[in-house]
Amino acid sequence: MKPITYGHSWYGVGNHFTPGLMSALHMARCYAGRHRYLHPVWVVDHAINTSGRIRVLSRSRPWLPSLPGTLQLYPPNTLYWTDYPEGGKSLCEFSFVFFRGGEAVGLDKLIPPRAGFARFLDPDGLAGATIEEIARIGQKQGTAGFWQAQAGLCRLIDLLLASAPSEHDEPRRIGHPASFPAPTPSALVRATEDYLRRHLAQPVALAELAQQLQVSVSTLSHRYRAETGETPMTRLMQLRMNHAKILLTSGQKLSAIVEATGFCDSAHFSRAFKRLEGVSPREYLRDTLQPELRYRAND
C-alpha cells in the first residue's frame, strides 16, 4: 500500500470568516518517531487506525494515549508532541482540520484549563467521517469547494460542542447531536457573559457584577461555576485575552490594547498574557505572523 495524502488549503478565503476553514488533510504513511508541532490556528487531529501517545504544553507533562477513533482539539499556539512506535511497516492514517475563530463559537470552553487541549471519543465515526468529507471536497473541488467544506466544518463544530462531558481527564464522547444536546445557558450565565463582554475595558468587581444581576455574590459564583466549570473572573480574563490577541494581530499598539482590555499598564498586561498563553505578546505576534501551519519535526 502506497502512502496517500489529499486535501486542500483555503487560507485566502477562510481568513474572512469566523469560524473560518483554513485547511483539511488526510494522510496515510509509515509514521514513526517523535514529532513536535505548533500551529497558530485551531486544530482537530483525528487518529484513524494507529495507536501512539501525545504530550501537550511542556516536556515535563506526562504522555497520554492517542488511540484509533479518538480526536484531539488544540487551541492556537498550543505546543504538543506525538510519539509513534519505531519500525512500523503498516501505514498509519490521520486526518486533520485547521481553522480559525474557534473561541468565537465556544470551543475554548471545552478545553480543561490545566490540560491545554480537549480529547474526544468518536465511537460512531461521526466526526471522523466529517473530516474525511472536508478533505475529499478539497481534493476534488479545490478552492471552489470552500462553501461545501465550510459547511462540513460547521457540522464538525456542532458535534464537538454537543459532545457529552466526562469526569476528570477522560475524553468527551461524540454522539448524534440528538443524543447529546448541547445545554442551553441559563439566563444568569447569559447575562453574566453579556456584562463581561461589555466591560472588557473597565475594572470589574464580582460584588458589582452580582449587584447588577440582582443576586448575591455567593449565588453568582456557585451557579456560574456549576454551569460553566469556571468563575466569572476567570471567564473575564479569557475574554480579555481573546480580545487582546485579535487586537495584536490587527496591528494595534500595545498601549491601545492595554486600554481596551482593562489592564493597569503594559507590564501588568504582559505578565498576565505570558502566564495564560505561555508566551509574551511579542512572541505570540511573531509566531502568528509566521506561515499558517508552522511545523517543527524531530525535536
- pTM of the predicted model as reported, rounded to 2 decimal places: 0.58
Please tell me the predicted confidence (pLDDT) of residue 167: 61
Q: What percent of the chain has pLDDT over 90?
A: 33
Output the nine-digit C-alpha cell for 174.
Answer: 461524540
pLDDT for residue 187 is more than 80: yes
Query: pLDDT-derived band of residue 1, with 50, 70 and 90 as boundaries?
Result: very low
Query: pLDDT-derived band of residue 4, with 50, 70 and 90 as boundaries?
Result: low
Please tell me the predicted confidence (pLDDT) of residue 34: 78
Measured CA to CA in angstroms, residue 266 lies from 48, 51, 201, 260 at distances of 45, 45, 14, 12
**Domain 187-288 of CATH type 1.10.10.60:** yes
State pLDDT tens for residues 106-163: 999 898 878 889 989 888 888 988 998 999 899 889 999 999 999 999 999 999 998 8
Domains 4-180 and 187-288 agree in fold:
no
Instruction: Please report which helix (H) or strand (E) contains residue 8, including its range.
Output: strand 4-9
Residue whose entry in the numeric block shows the C-alpha cell 490545566? 114
- Can you tell me the distance from the alpha carbon of 118 to that of 45, in angstroms, rounded to the nearest whole number? 11
Mean confidence (pLDDT) of the chain:
83
Output the nine-digit C-alpha cell for 80.
Answer: 504538543
State pLDDT tens for residues 73-114: 999 989 988 887 654 555 567 789 999 999 989 999 898 878
| Residue 288, SS3 per DSSP | helix
Decide which of 295 and 45 is more confident.
Answer: 45
Output the nine-digit C-alpha cell for 86.
Answer: 519505531
Please tell me the predicted confidence (pLDDT) of residue 14: 79
Segment among 56-70, 112-126, 165-179, 201-215 with least mean pLDDT: 165-179
pLDDT for residue 31 is more than 70: no
Q: How many angstroms separate the most distant Cα atoms in the chain?
A: 66
Q: Is 12 exposed, middle or buried (0-12, 13-18, 19+ CB in 10 A)?
A: exposed
Max mean pLDDT range (81-85, 141-145, 247-251, 292-296): 141-145
- Can you tell me the distance from the alpha carbon of 134 to that of 23, in angstroms, rounded to the nearest whole number? 9
Domain edges within the chain? 4-180, 187-288
Runs of H (alpha helix) within the chain = 11-14, 126-141, 146-161, 187-198, 206-213, 217-228, 232-249, 254-260, 266-277, 281-288
pLDDT for residue 182 is more than 80: no
CATH of domain 4-180: 2.60.120.280
- Can you tell me the distance from the alpha carbon of 39 to that of 290, in angstroms, rounded to the nearest whole number? 10
Please tell me the predicted confidence (pLDDT) of residue 181: 52
